[in-house]
Amino acid sequence: QKGAVASKVPESSTIGKIISSSDYLAEILEKVPVLAIPCSLGSPEDMEEGLGGGRQGWWGSVLPAVWSYMLAARSRGLGTAWTTLHLRYANRVGEQLGIPETVTQLACIPTAYYTGDDFRPGARKPAEDVTYWNHWKKTEI
């Protein structure tokens, strides 16, 4: 069942496709063989702004580890997806898995062998169209 905002978004739009994909993942999540839940001690709220960039610095220190896991899985023929669907239930998940309240769940990474035949990079704009030099929207050096 779509929420109030999701029901107003055209399914053909980029956001509509993301919502549709998220809905599908939520429907099949229990069938995924591995649900990796990366965690970190503490929370971004514990970071002081002057120490390593505060919340942004905290996330910047944990995201590369999760991304490395996803890349390692891909190199072994496994598909992954970064999702935060479970975080609204983080307390319940933490209780079931024995995760202390002093530990932050970062995401849920469904992991499984890829069964399709079109495992390829997603469509992306050319890097030169989205790389800016010395000023926002300045694409040339």
106 lies in a domain? yes
- Residue 82's DSSP bridge partners are none
The mean predicted confidence, pLDDT, of the chain is 85
23 has a pLDDT exceeding 70: yes
On whether the CB atoms of residues 20 and 11 are closer than 8 A, the answer is yes
133 lies in a domain? no
53 lies in a domain? yes
Can you tell me the distance from the alpha carbon of 99 to that of 6, in angstroms, rounded to the nearest whole number?
A: 31
Can you tell me the distance from the alpha carbon of 73 to that of 78, in angstroms, rounded to the nearest whole number?
A: 5
3 lies in a domain? no
User: Mean pLDDT over residues 127-138, rounded?
Assistant: 90
Residue 118 is classified by DSSP as: -
108 lies in a domain? yes
Edge-to-edge strands, sheet with 109-113: 34-36, 109-113, 78-80
87 lies in a domain? yes
Range of the domain at 64: 35-116
User: Mean pLDDT over residues 107-126, rounded?
Assistant: 84
Confidence of residue 140 (pLDDT cuts 50, 70, 90): confident
* Amino acid in position 15: I
Q: Is the pTM of this model over 0.75?
A: no
Cα torsion for 14, 62, 106, 72, to the nearest 10°?
A: 70
User: Mean pLDDT over residues 11-18, rounded?
Assistant: 78
Predicted confidence (pLDDT) per residue in 51-107, tens digit? 566 778 878 888 999 999 999 999 998 999 999 889 999 999 999 999 999 999 999
54 lies in a domain? yes
pLDDT at site 94: 95
Domain count for the chain: 1
65 lies in a domain? yes
